[in-house]
Structure 1
Amino acid sequence: MKMTREQLYRRIEQAEPGEIAKLEAQIATCSWRQSYHIQPVTGLLNDPNGFSYYQGYYHLFYQWFPLGTEHGLKYWYHTRSNNLVNWENVGIAIEPGGPYDSHGAYSGSAIEKDGKLNLIYTGNTRDKNWIRHPYQCLAIMDEENVVTKFEHPVISDVPAGYTEHFRDPKVWQHDDVYYCVIGAQRMDETGCTMLYRSADLKHWQFLGEIMTTLPSFGYMWECPDYLEMEGQGVLIFSPQGIQPEAERYHNIYQSGYLIGEPLDLESREFKHGKFHELDRGFDFYAPQTMHSPDGRRILVAWMGLPDLAYPTDDSGWAHCLTLPRQLSIQGDKLIQQPVPEMAQLRGEQQGIQAQSTINNESRSFAGFHGIAYELECEISQNDANLVGIEFRASDTEKTIVQYNQLDRKLILDRSHSGAALSEANGTIRSCSLDVDSEAEVHNVIKLRMFVDSSSVEIFVNDGQEVFTSRIFPSRDSAGIQFFAHGGKADFKMVIWKYEME
């Protein structure tokens, strides 16, 4: 049963007696709890926030509604890790309820200054007529993880010509100056990104819109993130209101990027190429990046989407975050690969290996099964019409990743993955697969899959494409089958188990 508005905007201490214990009991019996992904202790997780490195730890916060799986009063919940693999729950970082975040501490970012971690976020407020009034707020975290809110908003007003949809500040430093991008909506209900400048993170000057060649691309741009790498500028954002187009834009909302010349901070002009989606799967939104101490650019996203129901809702929790991904640029594309640290999950395992020529059949191999694992598969010498892998499979359930040679498309099919999702969530995603000239001779397809209790992240051809998706099979669906239909193909594969079985 849906919560009332009053129930949705309760603080955690206003929970009914036994309410949180009931949620915890529900969650404890849920077979879809993840083994190695960040997930909420109770309730709903959404956007990653404040991704940063401070005092020897990677810090990652996320939007959190603790009392249910709807989007209610949002907190910032704090996790940290010294290796990007094993995450420790620290607890609540930013509590809503003040005059400038009375209806939620919404998304934002973090930057270190003067030995403290500065958290800059959107404070959501509503007046008695339920009209939204956003503020950009500052909170400061010390070495003991104690967070203190700055007394006043650092940006109090929405600039003239823009609606109340004005949120998600992402801050960076250039020379001795701080800059910030904010997602916004013009009065004509088109999305854009705003640029601000500050000397001290407390006083901000509005510079204007970032000038792109997309004047009418969706009705709102959420979670903007500007970064520079390999001599180029990259603007990542999540546009809402994009219509499907061939094999693109089939999720309810999108996330993607523009690559071009570095942003001109004076004219605000950004000369860029075409918009690319970051992920080809079903469940990926609100990505945020950080610059690691060793110079890498690392991305994490919400493995979910707004305004959709998921099967874990009935178990008192919803959503998780993706694995951290290391970014690089090839041509006009961002390449995403799991951070090398993920190999630590393998422990001392050498991995179970197999290789075989599969000819017009499906085959299983000893040791290839599981619920949470990493699987690498290389398919070559391929003259089959269709090659691929069925995983989290049983007699009644399976998720399929396959390459169709005839139309040169990679396809992810979750139509039989387990608990059904609503039609709006979708069951098939595909993309044309670009392969380099050497690979094209042999039709080499490399798949690196991170499978967990209720998700899969598939990195294709060393990160040229990624498919991120939630799936909800039973615990009994642990089989893996490799197949080639309409011809033969050579398979080489290795699996590392991430669980006690």
Structure 2
Amino acid sequence: MQTKREKLKQNILKAEAEAGAQRAKDPYRFGFHLMPPSGWMNDPNGLCWYQGEYHVFYQYSPLDAHRGQIFWGHWSSPDLLSWTQHPVFLYPTDAWDKNGVYSGSGLAEKDGLYLYYTGNVKHPGNYDYIYEGRGHNVGLAVTRDGITADSNRCILENKDYPQNLSCHVRDPKVWKQDGAYYMVLGARTRQDVGEILVFTSEDRLHWKHLNTIQTPQPFGFMWECPDVFCVDGQWIVMTSPQGIAHEKYQYQNVYSCGYFPLYGDFRSEYTLGDYQELDAGFDFYAPQTFEAPDGRRILLGWMGMPDADYTNPTADWSGWQHGMSVPRALHWNGERLTAQPIEELQQLRTDSKRQTMQGTAAINTGAMAELRIRNTGEHLHIAIGNSAVIEWSQGLLSLTLSEQAGYGRTKRYIQTQKLDTLHLLMDTSSLELFVNGGEQTMTTRFYPQGEEQKNRTITLHGEGEVRSDTLQPMTFHWAQA
């Protein structure tokens, strides 16, 4: 008799094979972004460099493009350009994770890759699953080859967390520092205040609560996907806070994601600087960072948004939904984080062209292209066919999507008094904008129609210079043909 895990594995292999047979016919499948083989993708997990390869695990619902049972999917790459899909890494089949193997992180050690994750359990009964009835456990899977888990166990349960918390404690991020191990967990108190728990360990298995990171006044009801790291000498607390009041020019999405500069020591006394959003587009959430072997701090975000009122038509058309942002290199410029596409992506460039803008310029591209604009005027207007308009004037940058391409996405804003440079990355069904060297970014999905699925005319009105490059696709080695 097949075990539950064996049955799930066979169903997943079948779903991925069926998706593979349709892949070449889908004009919206990405050329240079990670995506699910089938079904649904969300948070990046377990980002790391281990045994000569980059590893990207992710929340994966292979059997339901509208988000069903959650597994961990897995991509790896030696260079961030050529990617190999591996079999599903984590299954929700243990007592401590039977309702979903949720977000977590990777700790690369000499004796193995340690992957910490949230095991979700919903106890049967008449519960609200916020304050009662839910187990949010921390699981630990260890792998030596980076592909198959050699062991899996539960290391923290609700009883191990401070007593004033709701049942929403999740998303462990783990790292080693000063000879000890640290873990941060996102939390929601019983008073509906978001915060981050700091734990420490000497052996990677046994953990004790050390400190709590919080703001003087409540800032949202839940802080998801926490990350604490140092870049260019500045400590950063990154999180995705839920419950922030929406404003016209900031906090525009259902949920925000951003960071606080941290001054002092996260383990004892500290102060947090002003919160800054990481991305102002429609589709960017749950980012996670890791340190590359050359010391770069690289960020990857989910190119999606939970509980949004807009849609991705590929879920119904071709059985898959969502993807990841391009990897972004982070730096601290003395005032804020900057995020720019990793330099490896430059290897995808071909057919480079330069044009001077003095009034109107037009560029014909395929579905995958890059534009780097040096702006010297007071106004800039960019139209991507009939699908999207980017406009800057009087200190406000806006992105407007057409009804046909946006599928419910309308308009988003960035406030910036100057616009010196604008860097656009365009894939088959995504746009990423990097403003003034990545001081601000804007990420969205979009779905050009008709001929614009393959060929796009970009019209620019302004002054300055634009360089355009066609982008070749990355290499994807799919497990199922």
Please report the TM-score for the alignment, with normalisation by the length of structure 2.
0.89
Q: Aligned ranges for residues 86-485 of structure 1 at < 5 Å?
A: 86-129=82-125, 131-143=133-145, 145-155=147-157, 157=159, 158-213=161-216, 215-265=217-267, 267=268, 269-308=269-308, 309-314=311-316, 315-346=318-349, 349=350, 351-358=352-359, 362-365=360-363, 368-380=364-376, 382-383=377-378, 386-391=379-384, 393=385, 397-404=386-393, 407-416=394-403, 418-422=404-408, 426-435=409-418, 445-474=420-449, 476-477=451-452, 478-484=455-461
Question: Comparing 55-64 with 323-332, which one deviates more in the overlay?
Answer: 323-332
Separation of aligned partners in 1, 2:88 and 2:142:
14
Please report the TM-score for the alignment, with normalisation by the length of structure 1.
0.86
Separation of aligned partners in 1, 2:82 and 2:206:
37
Give the corresponding residue for 2:130.
none
Q: Aligned ranges for residues 17-56 of structure 1 at < 5 Å?
A: 23-24=19-20, 29-56=25-52
Alpha-carbon distance, 1:27 to partner: 5.2
Separation of aligned partners in 2, 1:457 and 1:34:
13
Give the corresponding residue for 1:494.
468
Separation of aligned partners in 2, 1:300 and 1:264:
23
Deviation string, structure 1 residues 110-160 (Cα, Å, up to 9, x no partner): 112243110000111111226321110100111252212333434563431
In structure 1, give the amino acid aligned to 2:399.
L
Count of residue pairs the alignment pairs up: 458
- Structure 1 residues 20 and 87: alpha-carbon distance in aligned structure 2, compared to 1, 3 A threshold: closer
SS at match of 2:261: strand
1:137·1:155 contact (CA, 8 Å) conserved in 2?
no
Separation of aligned partners in 2, 1:168 and 1:156:
13
In structure 2, give the amino acid aligned to 1:410.
L
RMSD, matched Cα: 2.3
Separation of aligned partners in 2, 1:82 and 1:181:
28
SS at match of 1:12: helix
SS at match of 1:364: strand
SS at match of 1:476: helix
Gaps of 5+ in 1: 1-8, 436-443
- Structure 1 residues 112 and 363: alpha-carbon distance in aligned structure 2, compared to 1, 3 A threshold: closer
Alpha-carbon distance, 1:191 to partner: 0.9
In structure 2, give the amino acid aligned to 1:125.
V
Alpha-carbon distance, 1:93 to partner: 1.2
In structure 2, give the amino acid aligned to 1:466.
T
Give the corresponding residue for 1:73.
69
In structure 2, give the amino acid aligned to 1:421.
Y
Give the corresponding residue for 1:3.
none
SS at match of 2:227: strand
SS at match of 2:145: coil
Separation of aligned partners in 1, 2:272 and 2:154:
36
Separation of aligned partners in 2, 1:18 and 1:80:
22
Give the corresponding residue for 1:5.
none
Separation of aligned partners in 1, 2:345 and 2:12:
40
- Structure 1 residues 11 and 280: alpha-carbon distance in aligned structure 2, compared to 1, 3 A threshold: farther
Separation of aligned partners in 1, 2:417 and 2:201:
42
Separation of aligned partners in 2, 1:197 and 1:17:
39
Question: Comparing 407-416 with 454-463, which one deviates more in the overlay?
Answer: 407-416
Separation of aligned partners in 1, 2:307 and 2:11:
24
Separation of aligned partners in 2, 1:320 and 1:16:
18
2:97·2:121 contact (CA, 8 Å) conserved in 1?
yes
1:232·1:262 contact (CA, 8 Å) conserved in 2?
no
In structure 2, give the amino acid aligned to 1:490.
G
Separation of aligned partners in 1, 2:190 and 2:7:
33
1:12·1:66 contact (CA, 8 Å) conserved in 2?
no
Deviation string, structure 1 residues 172-223 (Cα, Å, up to 9, x no partner): 111111011100000011111111000111000012412433x311111100
In structure 2, give the amino acid aligned to 1:70.
H
Separation of aligned partners in 1, 2:325 and 2:14:
31
Separation of aligned partners in 2, 1:69 and 1:17:
15
Alpha-carbon distance, 1:108 to partner: 0.3
In structure 2, give the amino acid aligned to 1:413.
T
Alpha-carbon distance, 1:40 to partner: 0.2
